[in-house]
């Protein structure tokens, strides 16, 4: 059954609201996926504070243009699925990439990312690169480890000198005893 103009306008408003709140989004073509697989993808998205939404391509374009976003979803025909990430801009790309490894029918078409100057469209290759990035926590751990490494090295060198001094004093004590 076809949607009325009011229903379509409500859909456009909902998409525009999500575009306003999102940190990142990934467009996918879900043709060929089974309902159980789509539900699995929705569960994965919810676990990462993301939302998986299936919309008409034309309604998505209308919502994006209402927000002043030039979103190209070129490879999609008919319906389009969008993974919206609200907390982490990289999360939708990671979810899509991991899911596409297991289910080849899911095809990433592109995406959007919020930057300081606004929302920037992403090409398919850029979304793949984002999907390969380590998590924020892992990046922070690597940075802290890199900062702490020289300090650990200095402590090790200083401990070595103290050990040598204790060894020399111990040897002197044994020779005098």
Tokens coding 147: 């900062």
pLDDT at 154: 86
pLDDT at 35: 92
**pTM of structure:** 0.73
Q: Which domain holds residue 40?
A: 5-133
Domain count along the chain? 2
List, run by run, the mean pLDDT of 10-residue segments along the chain (177 residues).
Answer: 83 88 89 90 91 88 81 66 89 91 88 85 86 83 90 85 86 85
Q: Is 87:135 a contact under the CB 8 Å cutoff?
A: no
pLDDT at 153: 85
Distance CA 103, CA 33 (A): 8
pLDDT at 31: 86
Please indicate, yes or no, whether residues 85 and 16 belong to a single structural domain of this protein: yes
Please indicate, yes or no, whether residues 150 and 85 belong to a single structural domain of this protein: no
**For residues 87, 75, 14 and 85, what is the CA-based torsion angle, rounded to 10 degrees?**
-10
pLDDT at 42: 92
Please indicate, yes or no, whether residues 164 and 93 belong to a single structural domain of this protein: no
Non-local CB neighbours of 41 within 8 Å, separated by 6+ positions: 33, 52, 95, 99, 106
Please indicate, yes or no, whether residues 59 and 109 belong to a single structural domain of this protein: yes
Please indicate, yes or no, whether residues 124 and 177 belong to a single structural domain of this protein: no
Which residues on neighbouring strands pair with residue 24, listed in sequence order? Answer: 85, 113
Burial of 110 (0-12, 13-18, 19+ CB in 10 A): buried
């Amino acid at each position: 059954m076809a949607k009325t103009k009011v229903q379509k306008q409500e859909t456009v408003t909902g998409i525009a609201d999500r575009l306003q709140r999102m940190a990142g989004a990934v467009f996918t073509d879900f043709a060929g996926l089974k309902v159980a697989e789509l539900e699995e993808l929705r569960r994965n998205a919810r676990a990462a504070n993301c939302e998986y939404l299936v919309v008409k391509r034309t309604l998505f374009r209308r919502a994006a243009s209402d927000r002043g976003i030039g979103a190209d979803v070129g490879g999609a025909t008919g319906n389009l699925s969008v993974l919206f990430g609200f907390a982490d801009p990289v999360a939708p790309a990671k979810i899509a990439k991991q899911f596409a490894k297991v289910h080849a029918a899911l095809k990433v078409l592109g995406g959007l990312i919020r930057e300081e100057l606004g929302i920037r469209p992403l090409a398919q290759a850029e979304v793949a690169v984002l999907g390969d990035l380590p998590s924020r926590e892992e990046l922070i751990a690597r940075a802290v480890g890199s900062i702490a490494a020289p300090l650990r090295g200095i402590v090790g060198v200083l401990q070595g000198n103290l050990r040598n001094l204790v060894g020399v004093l111990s040897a002197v004590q044994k020779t005098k005893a």
